[in-house]
Amino acid sequence: MAKSWFSMRASAGGDIPSGFALYNMLDRHPAKKIVTVDGLAASMASVIAMAGDEIVMPSNSMLMIHNPWGAVNGDSETLISFGEALAKMRDTIAETYVARSGQPMDDVLTMMSRETWLSAQEAVDMGFADRVEEPRKMAARVNTSRFLNTPLALRKMAVDFKPRSFDDIAAKVWGHGV
């Protein structure tokens, strides 16, 4: 069987239906899928990562899970309908995490309600990933301001590094310019 590889660089997530379309596409691909979370797989990006046959996380990467959320305008029936849809999406996302991790549904739902950030080792220990590898220096900048419980270390990384050029990024990643 051919081996395939998919890298999750630094993603704060995205649209749930689009995310599940990508998850399903990866999941049904016949090759062995090795997903590498090089920086951050948050929200829907963490669900997409679950499609991997093997999930690898450098020790300085993170995985974040939380309840889906959104906004809608309309009357009470529209708001109730949207709330019901969010609950269904939450359950589908939780089922995906449970299938991959082996964690009990109630534990996963609690983690999602609390917006849980997992280090690479925590993700492995809990079954959300398979192995930790040597770290890569993070060069990507991701906006985590929309999340409630972003760890301080990750917030500082996102704020402190503001590259002005590709040379700045190369120096951060490889320790020298191009």
CA-based nearest residue to 130, from 66, 65, 63, 67: 63
Q: Which of 43, 46, 61, 101 is catalytic?
A: 43
Tokens read off for 5: 């590889």
Contact between 64 and 115 under an 8 Å Cβ cutoff? The reply is: yes
- Is 66 one of the catalytic residues? yes
- Is 29 one of the catalytic residues? no
Rounded-to-integer distance, Cα 176 and Cα 44, Å: 34
Rounded-to-integer distance, Cα 64 and Cα 12, Å: 9
Rounded-to-integer distance, Cα 42 and Cα 81, Å: 26
Q: Distance of alpha carbon 49 from its chain centroid, rounded?
A: 7
Q: Which of 11, 46, 66, 101 is catalytic?
A: 66
Give Cβ neighbours of residue 137 (< 8 Å, ≥ 6 apart): 60, 172, 173, 174
Amino acid at 6: F
**Residue 162, SS3 per DSSP:** coil
Q: Which residues are catalytic?
A: 43, 66
